[in-house]
Amino acid sequence: MIRTIIAAAFIIFGLLLFAVEIYGVNRFSFIMNRMHAAAIGDTLAMMSCMAGLIIYSGFNFTSLKLLLVVVFLCFSSPVSSHLIMNLEVETNEKANTHYEEETLTDEDDRLDDEEA
Amino acid sequence: MSRLRPSHQNKREFRFKEWMDGSVDPYLGNLEMKPQQLTEETKEQFDERIQDYVRLNAELYDTEKNKGVRMFRILYRISSVIWIALLIGVMLLTVSHLPPNGDPDNPVNNEVSKRYIEQGLQETGAVNIVTGMILDYRAFDTFGESNVLFIATVTVLILLRKNQKMHNEKDMKEDQDDEKYEPQSDTILKTVAKVLVPVIFVFGLYVILNGHLGPGGGFSGGAIMGAGLILYCITFGFEKTERFFTEKTYKWISFTALSVYCLSKAYSFYTGANGLHSHIPLGTPGAILSSGLIFVLNICVGMVVTITMYTFYAMFRKGDF
């Protein structure tokens, strides 16, 4: 019983995050903002839903396969976001009106040196 | 029949071999052919076309001046709303007449599904009843599906495959332009693909080989393995995939898989139809080497699906193998 409640809580949290994701994707107008919203859904929301399902099914072979899905998404979703972003920066003709590129100053260099 | 060719070249076998190899174009010389011309328009024609376009938009489609267009647009919107409402009504009416969900007297619950559930394990040896159905009771249907995939791939190859002999300078320049936007030099993608591709392949193999024991089978496992191949191709390019997957590989894998499927199923159909004893052991249900032909057929279907997915991707990405 407690297990069902915990699992349901996880899944509902994931679904709420999905709602936030869909709202954000439709609300924002520039690709980078929209992708930020979409990446939340791909990583945290999916992980939360899968965690809920794993808890619900208990520890068996099915839950191991679900864990594999989580690991796979963990690897692949950020990479796909990174690639789409790369393509956007390279090909967008109105780049300067959508975002500004940050140029490194001396202050940044000094901070980097201190960290390293 | 040409009298100019030596006599052995007029033989039917030789002509068939020529036709198979594709070394002679059978239409060349027998059919009137005219190469396509590029249509080029002059400056005056271009100006005229643009002027026509502007005038049409300004005068004919202006709702202020043209009352007919205005009426038509209003009618169009109203009638489309009515039409969609009608369609929704018909569908809802149909749904309300469907039998209730889970009723034992539904027409779905007839003797066919009863037999699948009660005797599927004894007759096919597959723990997964769905695999037992699609690869044993309905194996002919699945064979047709595999052939559909094969024919679709062949059609795509005919339409999109590049002819290496006609690769000229313009194509080379196009290739270079395409390479600019390809993620092949990306370190992050390469690192991730190195970890992920083997895992995807092992998981796809597991799904194919475990098709008669759990959820999965040839189609889903083949789709997973095809996705792994596509990821490998995106990351490392066609030079790396060409080392193990070329047009010849495609030819031989599809030929082997489809003929193994055809012959093994022909054997079991023949024995089944004539009431003969089949020599294929079913094994103990639950073991990995069990359920007779289903294990082999799963591998065949998986291979066909894998190469179909990869070939589609390679062809639509202007690839050549």
Domain assignment of residue A14, yes or no: yes
Mean pLDDT of chain B: 84
Determine whether the interchain pair A83/B189 forms a contact, defined as Cβ–Cβ distance below 8 Å: yes
What per-residue confidence (pLDDT) applies to A65?
A: 85
Q: Mean pLDDT, to the nearest integer, of B195-216?
A: 89
* Structural tokens at position B54: 């502007």
What per-residue confidence (pLDDT) applies to A100?
A: 67
Which chain A residues touch B if contact means CB-CB below 8 Å? 68, 72, 75-76, 79, 82-83, 86-87, 90-91
Determine whether the interchain pair A91/B183 forms a contact, defined as Cβ–Cβ distance below 8 Å: no
Count of C-beta atoms within a 10 Å radius of residue B100: 7
B36 Cα to chain A: minimum distance (Å): 34
What is the chain B residue with the closest CA to A72? B196
**Which residues on chain A are in Cβ contact (under 8 Å) with B127?**
none
Q: How many CB pairs under 8 A join A and B?
A: 24
Determine whether the interchain pair B186/A87 forms a contact, defined as Cβ–Cβ distance below 8 Å: no
B8 Cα to chain A: minimum distance (Å): 59
What is the chain A residue with the closest CA to B189? A79
At A29-79, the pLDDT tens digits run: 888 888 888 888 888 898 899 999 999 888 888 888 888 888 888 888 888
Q: Mean pLDDT, to the nearest integer, of B93-105?
A: 83
What confidence tier does B85 reach under pLDDT thresholds 50, 70, 90? very high
Domain assignment of residue A99, yes or no: no
What per-residue confidence (pLDDT) applies to B290?
A: 75
Domain assignment of residue A15, yes or no: yes
Which chain B residues touch A if contact means CB-CB below 8 Å? 180-181, 183, 186, 188-189, 192, 195-196, 199, 203
User: Which H/E stretch holds residue B177?
Assistant: helix B169-180
Q: How many domains does chain A have?
A: 1
What per-residue confidence (pLDDT) applies to B309?
A: 92
What confidence tier does B321 reach under pLDDT thresholds 50, 70, 90? low
Q: Which ipTM value was assigned to this complex?
A: 0.73
Determine whether the interchain pair A75/B188 forms a contact, defined as Cβ–Cβ distance below 8 Å: no
Residue B276 or B197, more confident: B197
**Which residues on chain B are in Cβ contact (under 8 Å) with A79?**
188-189, 192
Residues 6+ apart with CB under 8 A from A44: A14, A17
**Which residues on chain A are in Cβ contact (under 8 Å) with B184?**
none
What confidence tier does B166 reach under pLDDT thresholds 50, 70, 90? low
Domain assignment of residue A110, yes or no: no
Domain assignment of residue A22, yes or no: yes
A59 Cα to chain B: minimum distance (Å): 17
At B211-256, the pLDDT tens digits run: 888 888 889 999 999 999 999 988 888 888 888 888 888 889 999 9
What per-residue confidence (pLDDT) applies to A112?
A: 67
Domain assignment of residue A95, yes or no: no
**Which residues on chain A are in Cβ contact (under 8 Å) with B188?**
79, 82
**Which residues on chain B are in Cβ contact (under 8 Å) with A86?**
183, 186
Residues 6+ apart with CB under 8 A from B205: B221, B225
B158 Cα to chain A: minimum distance (Å): 31
What percent of chain B clears pLDDT 90, i.e. is strictly above it?
24
> Of the ranges B45-49, B114-118, B254-258, B266-270, which one carries the lowest mean pLDDT score?
B114-118
At B46-69, the pLDDT tens digits run: 899 899 888 888 777 777 777 888
Q: Is B291 exposed, middle or buried (0-12, 13-18, 19+ CB in 10 A)?
A: buried
Determine whether the interchain pair A76/B196 forms a contact, defined as Cβ–Cβ distance below 8 Å: yes
- Residues B178 and A91: their CA atoms lie apart, in Å, by 12
Domain assignment of residue A105, yes or no: no
**Which residues on chain B are in Cβ contact (under 8 Å) with A87?**
181, 183
pTM (predicted TM-score)? 0.72
- In this structure, what DSSP letter does residue B243 have? T
Determine whether the interchain pair B196/A72 forms a contact, defined as Cβ–Cβ distance below 8 Å: yes
Domain assignment of residue A112, yes or no: no
Domain boundaries, position A43: 2-89
What per-residue confidence (pLDDT) applies to A17?
A: 92
At B119-160, the pLDDT tens digits run: 878 777 788 888 888 888 888 898 999 999 999 999 998 888
At B279-315, the pLDDT tens digits run: 777 777 777 777 778 888 889 999 999 999 999 998 8
Select from A68, A76, A90 the Cβ nearest to the Cβ of B181: A90
